[in-house]
Structure 1
Amino acid sequence: MGSFIVRVLINGLALWIASWLLPGMDISTSATTGAVANAGITQGSDTLGVILAYLFIGLIFGVVNALVRPLVKLLSLPVTILTLGLFTIIINAAMLYLTSWLSSYTPVHLTIDTFFWTAILAAIIISIISLVAGRIPGAGKR
């Protein structure tokens, strides 16, 4: 269970960095800003809301990667072998796009403007960050 929480934190961090680097990727909430402003909520809680939004999308992304990605990788194995593994980037982008679609049914939305380039670059960025963060001692599986 602790490993899954660490994976969600890493996914949230990777999604934040990808959305910071790529202008076509954004995470937003459907909460009305007027109600938040009228409630007297300060800037600090707005930052907490943004952090929770990224963690929520990281959770959705983790569930998609845990449940859907193995099946897609198995079904696309011949194409992956034929492209010498480069099709894995397309699979990662598709999982990101599936996360975007699933998040459209939640209060927190991941939006990607164009599937091909933004999702491909985001998939590469997220993969690199996950690879580096997975190598940190204590972040890996026990």
Structure 2
Amino acid sequence: MRFLLNWLLTSISIAIATFIVPGIAPFGPTDAWLSFAFVGLFLGLVNSLVKPLITVISLPVTFLTLGVFQLVVNSFMLELASWLSVNLLGSGISISGFWSAFVGAIIVSIMCSILGVATKDA
């Protein structure tokens, strides 16, 4: 049940980022909400499978930049989730460049945190 809630919150966060950031748009023949759900699913998978490995590999750079490089890692995870969604399922979000992914990842992280606190069990 917690997985479904996290998937829903991530999809809502991606939808909010899509409406705020000009370089991110829904892509594919399906409805926009389905595109957000696909990317939310892949972002959850990428964050649980790929991100820990990339975080360990980039630990020296993250340490030297006092953690700021983790924002770059988050933007690459959003790009990877978008790429996987579009290429495997044919629907997702299109990201026009690195800076759009960077700002989008920041917004997705902030919104997931806010929505996660709002739905946290007592």
Same fold by TM (over 0.5)? yes
| Alpha-carbon RMSD | 1.6
1:30 equivalent in structure 2:
29
Please report the TM-score for the alignment, with normalisation by the length of structure 2: 0.90
1:130 equivalent in structure 2:
112
Q: How does 1:88-103 map to 2 (within 5 A)?
A: 88-103=70-85
Distance in 2 of aligned mates of 1:120 and 1:107: 23
Distance in 1 of aligned mates of 2:95 and 2:119: 32
**Alpha-carbon distance, 1:137 to partner:** 4.1
Query: 3-state SS of the aligned residue for 2:26?
Result: strand
Query: 3-state SS of the aligned residue for 1:104?
Result: helix
2:90 equivalent in structure 1:
107
1:45 equivalent in structure 2:
none
Please report the TM-score for the alignment, with normalisation by the length of structure 1: 0.78
Percent identity over the alignment is 37
Does the CA-based 8 Å contact 2:36-2:92 persist in structure 1? no
Give 2:76's aligned amino acid.
A
1:42 equivalent in structure 2:
none
Does the CA-based 8 Å contact 1:28-1:109 persist in structure 2? yes
Q: How does 1:1-142 map to 2 (within 5 A)?
A: 2-30=1-29, 49-105=31-87, 106-115=89-98, 117-138=99-120
**Alpha-carbon distance, 1:109 to partner:** 2.8
Question: Which protein has the bigger helix share?
Answer: 2
**Alpha-carbon distance, 1:123 to partner:** 0.8
Distance in 1 of aligned mates of 2:12 and 2:92: 16
- Structure 1 unmatched ranges of 5 or more: 32-48
**Alpha-carbon distance, 1:17 to partner:** 0.4
Would you say how many aligned residue pairs link Structure 1 and Structure 2?
Answer: 121
Does the CA-based 8 Å contact 1:60-1:99 persist in structure 2? yes
Does the CA-based 8 Å contact 2:28-2:86 persist in structure 1? no
CA shift digits 1:57-79 (9 cap, x unpaired): 11111111111001111111111
